[in-house]
Structure 1
Amino acid sequence: MTDKILNEEVHLMKTANRSKRMLDALWDIFASVKLTVVTLTLLAATSVLGTFIPQKADPSFYIRAYGEFAYRLMQVFDILDMYYSWWFQTLIGILAINITVCTIKRWPAIWKIVSSKNLRLETIKKKSPIGEFSDPRHTDELLPLYKAYIGKKYKRVEMSSEKPGMMIVAEKGRWTRLGVPAVHLSIVIILAGALIGSFLGFDGFVNIPEGQSANSIRLRNSDATLPLGFEVRCEDFDVSFYDSGSPKEFRSSLTILENGEKVAEKDIIVNDPLRYNGINFFQSSYGQTPPNRVRIKFTSSKSNESPLHNLSMGQTVGLPDGAGQFTLLRYTGNYSFRGTMIGEAIEGFLEKPGKESQEIALPLRFPTFDKMRKGDWFISVDGYEDAFYTGLQVTKDPGVPIVYLGFVLLLVGCWIAFFMSHQKIVVDLQPSTNSSRITIYGVTNRNRVGFEMASHQLGEDLSKL
């Protein structure tokens, strides 16, 4: 019985040691700078690839540009939407963990320096002197003058006895050692924001005709629709053109409605979106919709009489002299007449007393087309009100505020890490025959040249007190 218990304990110890070795190995992998270099290289390479291969384009574009086999291959590896792909998100996650582990590993040494109360005089005095000079006054007279002057430039100033003289020890910028961890933290925050946006955000689009509303969008590269939880209404759409005919500016007047109540409104143009509840509505495209109202002309074949009527789709109007009635049915973008496409046309339904009803087409390009019926009245389209739809790109990225926070911290951290330093100086005052000998020592963690110049200036200032 005792041997069985002993064997079980040995097995548990071996299992625990094996688990510990695996965790230690995993920790060492994520604490490796090599992993950082490899991950950054892969992210950079794939990002470059993403600039050469257009993202989220229409499948027909890829098939035309690269061939069907290459398109299918890129589809399998999510190269066509790589910034949202599982492998790109995994690389970002690995980099975030790698930076976090590296920072945790180095944190005890950094914090020991920041929190330590020991100025480590012996380390400073091992360095070569930065400056030396003599003063005819005694050290007891110089000590309060020097301490007061150095106290204006250094936050921490202490006195130390160095028989037969004295030393003034000063330090500033110890907290600047936190600059590098701040940079690391900012990068992790930026990566976390990117992952949050990738998992919880969306990118879709919606087309809204003038005067109409939408409460859902279609997700990009998907047949799925996503409810918005409110309505967005296009009150008006305007487009202006250059002389060449290309669009100069298109503007949509949008209104947000919740439970039928107006809660937000804005005129948007390209790169000036409407933002509501963290959702962005960007002006992306536009197009024409079938006209809602059409101006119809009835022309008599016997006189110059040509009455006009403004009709909506489905509306019926009587022909002059009781010759029948005409109903406006639909708009056709490209009407086919005997196998030939003749362009835009308005289709209607003509009813005449004592005769069989018939559908007729009124091509916009051929105003006299209806004369072929040889009736007392022929019908044509005199014009119609242009109607447009606005194409909106709809996005949500809850990670954006986090990314902004990370960038602010990154700027602060870089400023601290590159333009500020931890400095310590020692001013050693030793009495000599009829004078005092002053020697200045100092150390800094960066910008040694600038620190030595400032220390030389400090020596000159002290010599003039």
Structure 2
Amino acid sequence: MSRGGRLASAVVATARNSWRQLTSMRTALILLFLLAVAAIPGSLLPQKSVSIEEVQQFVLDHPTVGPWLDRVWGYEVFSSPWFAAIYLLLFVSLVGCILPRAGEHWRAVRARPPAAPRRLDRLPEHAPARPVDGAPATVAAAVAAALRSGRWRAVARQDETGEWTVSAEKGHLKETGNLLFHTALIAVLLGVAVGSWYGWHGNRLLVAGPDAGFCNTVQQYDEYSLGPRVTGAELPKFCLELTDFLAEYHDSGQPSKFRATVAVDGDGSPRRTRTFSVNDPLRLGDANVYLFGNGYAPTLRYTDRYGRQQTSATTAFLRVDDALTSEGAIKFPDANLNPATGERDPKSQVAFEGLYLPTVPASPPFVRSAHPAERLPGIMLWAYRGDLGEDAGIPGPVYQLDKSRVESGQLKLVGAEPRLLRAGESWTLDDGSKVEFLGTRQWITVSVRHDAGQELVLVGVGVIVVGLMFSLFGRRRRVFFRLAEGAAGASAVTAGGLPRTDYAGFAEEFARVVAAVAPARADTVPDQRERDGRDGVVAGSADAGGTGT
């Protein structure tokens, strides 16, 4: 053989061996385990597809490991290349493993049970010959019929010596269950893939009030992700407005109930009110709206130093603990417009950083709320004046001030101490301007999702459970009967049994089957008087022996 031929043969042999290894059951189990392990970071780490804010906060809290995790797709686990590689290899392994086994199982189900062995006494379970009334052919047919009534696959045949035998088997549901389990697992993988291709989701922080509603367009989401087969124009049309939010807490601060009420319109139907909660999403056609989080949005009213212009702003503050202590920034970029010239000094823009406390503690320090409910609300304010940098048209942080401008001196802190304001109180700044704390609105975080493969995943999980039941409780076994000519028109029936899988109760089942399908003749069973006589002799002997002793 030439060198090129040997190289081609080596390549073919390597490919064949690699395919056999990949499609083996052991490899499929290893890949399934790796897929489960690979999903752990997606459960422990915040994911961009769920909350980009939590990811940003995690990176800020872990400056060393946070950026490194981002480089290895730690915050996008389920769309990462390494997760996709495991996913695809598992899919190929399962398909390559199932197809040959399915063919073998189909042939085994359609094939007739094998012929009975010559020596049934060598099988794990066997019954000695017993006489049964009838010719061997007639008894064989009766035994086969009785076995079929018990859901055995049975066949009666004559062997090469002319003796009649009956072969029966049962328990193919075990392998059927295995194949159902693995096929359903492929269906689940396909469902996940379909959901990834044709699914979409978007997250939005929704503040209560008619001026803060949103419509289901990608431009109005805080964060969104569309599948490769989905465009923004294909999203269902509807608009949501948060009209009410109910949050109830125990005295310990643990939440007991969340319920959001929204007004829905824009989908071609009349405007209507719907409610939903954490475990009860709002269903709008193909889209499901889930409730994820909640918080408070303080409202401040700023009166400029000229005393003529008042501006109110409501901004969501992000929670920093379970007591709903929240922090954020409220900006007034158009403040302090000179009434004489109609011009605004860009260096006279005003902003406030705040720490909102739903329940102000009874004594300082006022750095953490005493309870998540608004029992005694208050807000700690730090005032800043200068250039906010919003005129440049460069996107900046929404929920906080641009710290680089504070560090460069473009934004300067007004006053040395913050001021605690309760609802209805005001603070007059050094230039005569005034800020008032008017109260708060509720906000919620909603996730609007469409999973195109969820029905397939649901059916697949159901079939997985059924397949596991068949696989765990199904037991493959065979029984054989050999019939020979006996005396006085009877047949001598010998039986044997073979469990194909571990089956601790096979001996009892074998005895029941033999007694049911091949009952011995009455004249071969000792009557009660004979049994009593033998028992009496034995008992008497025992008594006598006891007396002699």
Instruction: Tell whether the structures are fold-level matches, with TM greater than 0.5.
Output: yes
Closer/same/farther in 2, CA of residues 229 and 156 from structure 1, 3 Å limit: closer
Judging by fraction of residues, say which structure has more strand: 1
Q: Structure 1 residue 255: deviation in Å? A: 3.8
Structure 1 residues 375-413: Cα deviation after superposition (integer angstroms, max 9, x where no partner): xxxx997x9575322221233322322221211111122
Q: Which string of whole-angstrom CA distances, capped at 9 and with x for unpartnered residues, describes residues 307-341 of structure 1?
A: xxxxxx99xxxxxxxxxx98753246636364543
- Would you say the 8 A contact 1:132–1:459 is kept in 2? no
What is aligned with 1:426? 480
Deviations 1:160-215 (A, max 9, x none): 23566533333444465332222221111222222333444344311222243212
Tell me if 1:341 matches 2:397.
Answer: no
Corresponding residue number in structure 1 for 2:424: 364
Matching of residues 21-32 of structure 1 within 5 Å: 24=16, 27-32=19-24
Q: 1:96 to 1:139 in 2, by over 3 A?
A: same
Question: Counterparts in 2 of 1:70-219, with a 5 A limit?
Answer: 70-116=65-111, 118-122=112-116, 128=123, 130-135=126-131, 137-139=133-135, 142-143=139-140, 145-161=142-158, 165-174=163-172, 176-212=174-210, 213-215=213-215, 216=217, 217-219=221-223
1:39-93 Cα offsets, whole Å, 9 max, x none, are 345334433455554544333423433x33x222211110222122121021111
Query: Following the alignment from structure 1 to structure 2, what is the Cα–Cα distance between the partners of residues 84 and 98?
Result: 20
Counterpart CA distance in 2 for 1:234 and 1:93 is: 42
Aligned residues: CA RMSD: 4.2
Matches of 2:140 and 2:253 in 1, distance apart? Answer: 83
Equivalent-residue separation in structure 2 for 1:248 and 1:145 (angstroms): 68
For 1:62, the aligned partner's letter is V
* 1:98 shift after superposition: 0.8
Q: Tell me, in whole angstroms, the C-alpha distance in 1 between the residues paired with 2:491 and 2:26.
A: 54
In 1, distance between residues paired with 2:14 and 2:196?
31
**How far apart, CA to CA, are the structure 1 residues paired with 2:118 and 2:38?**
48
Gapped regions of structure 2 (runs ≥ 5): 49-53, 314-329, 331-353, 355-380, 384-413, 522-549
- In 1, distance between residues paired with 2:179 and 2:21? 20
CA distance in 1, matches of 2:197, 2:128: 63
CA distance in 2, matches of 1:157, 1:245: 68
Q: Measure the CA separation in 2 of the matches of 1:385 and 1:160.
A: 91
Contact 2:200–2:449 (8 Å) recurs in 1: yes
Check whether the contact 1:173–1:420 (CA below 8 A) recurs between aligned residues: yes
1:330 to 312, 320, 328: 312
Name the SS for the 1:463 alignment partner. coil
**Structure-2 separation of matches of 1:151 and 1:106:** 26
Spell out the pairing of 1:12-91 with structure 2 (5 A cutoff): 24=16, 27-33=19-25, 35-56=27-48, 57-65=54-62, 67-68=63-64, 70-91=65-86
**In structure 2, what is the equivalent of residue 254 of structure 1?**
262
The C-alpha deviation readout for 1:79-120, integer Å capped at 9, x for no partner, is 22212212102111111111111222334332321222x322
Structure 2 counterparts to residues 392-431 of structure 1, below 5 A? 392-431=446-485
Structure 2 counterpart of 1:341, which letter?
P
Distance 1:23 1:14 in 2: 14
C-alpha spacing 1:143/1:21, structure 2 compared with 1 (3 Å)? closer
Which aligned pairs between 1:260-271 and structure 2 lie closer than 5 A?
261-262=269-270, 266-271=274-279
Listed one character per residue, the Cα deviations across residues 236-289 of structure 1 (whole Å, up to 9, x for unaligned) are 222333334564433211343234534875311222211223322111222333
Please state whether the residue corresponding to 2:20 is helix, strand or coil: helix
Q: 1:221 to 1:335 in 2, by over 3 A?
A: farther
From the superposition, tell whether residues 464 and 433 of structure 1 become closer, same or farther in structure 2 (CA, over 3 Å).
closer
TM-score, normalising length: structure 1: 0.70
Instruction: Check 1:124–1:112 CA distance in 2 against 1; reply closer, same or farther (3 A cut).
Output: farther
Question: Structure 2: how far apart are the matches of 1:249 and 1:390?
Answer: 14
Kindly provide the CA deviation profile for residues 130-183 of structure 1, in whole angstroms up to 9, marking residues without a partner as x.
223423634357456544433321354433235665333334444653322222
Residue identity (%): 18
SS in 2 for 1:80: coil
Contact 1:167/1:429 (8 A) holds in 2 = yes
Q: Does 1:279 align with 2:284?
A: no
Contact 1:124–1:425 under 8 Å retained in 2:
no
| Cα distance in 1 between the residues matched to 2:176 and 2:119 | 25
Distance 1:50 1:259, change over 3 A: closer
CA distance in 1, matches of 2:97, 2:88: 14
Secondary structure at the aligned position of 1:252 is classed as: strand
- Matched residues, number: 397
CA distance in 1, matches of 2:132, 2:454: 65
Note closer, same or farther for the CA distance 1:164–1:391 as it changes in structure 2 (3 Å cut).
closer
C-alpha deviation, 1:12, in angstroms: 12
Instruction: Confirm or deny: 8 A CA contact 2:167 2:479 kept in the other structure.
Output: yes
Contact kept, 8 Å, 1:208 with 1:391, in 2: the verdict is yes
Deviations 1:18-49 (A, max 9, x none): 88667535533422445435434533443345
Note closer, same or farther for the CA distance 1:52–1:268 as it changes in structure 2 (3 Å cut).
Answer: closer
Take 1:344 and 1:241, find their aligned partners in 2: how far apart are those partners?
24
CA distance in 1, matches of 2:468, 2:117: 28
The one of 427, 445, 459 equivalent to 2:514 is 459
User: For 2:81 and 2:272, how far apart are their aligned partners in 1?
Assistant: 36
Q: 1:285 to 1:90 in 2, by over 3 A?
A: same
SS of 1:446 mapped into structure 2: coil
The answer to whether the 8 Å contact 2:243/2:263 transfers is yes
Whichever residue aligns with residue 449 of structure 1, its letter is A
Q: Which one-letter code corresponds to 1:439 in the other structure? A: T
Change (3 A) 1:92 1:114: same
Q: Is the 8 A contact 2:475 2:503 kept in 1?
A: no
- 1:245/1:13 CA distance change after superposition, 3 Å: closer
* 1:21/1:71 CA distance change after superposition, 3 Å: same
Q: Return the letter of the residue paired with 2:133.
A: R
1: CA distance, partners of 2:506 / 2:448: 53
- Amino acid aligned to 1:153: G
Counterparts of 1:33 and 1:156, CA distance in 2: 28
Q: Is the 8 A contact 2:114 2:167 kept in 1?
A: no
Distance, in Å, in 2 between the alignment partners of 1:366 and 1:263 is 39
Greater displacement, 440-449 / 404-413: 440-449
Decide whether the 8 Å contact of 2:185 with 2:464 is kept in 1.
yes
Q: CA 1:102–1:251 in structure 2 vs 1: closer, same or farther (change >3 Å)? A: same
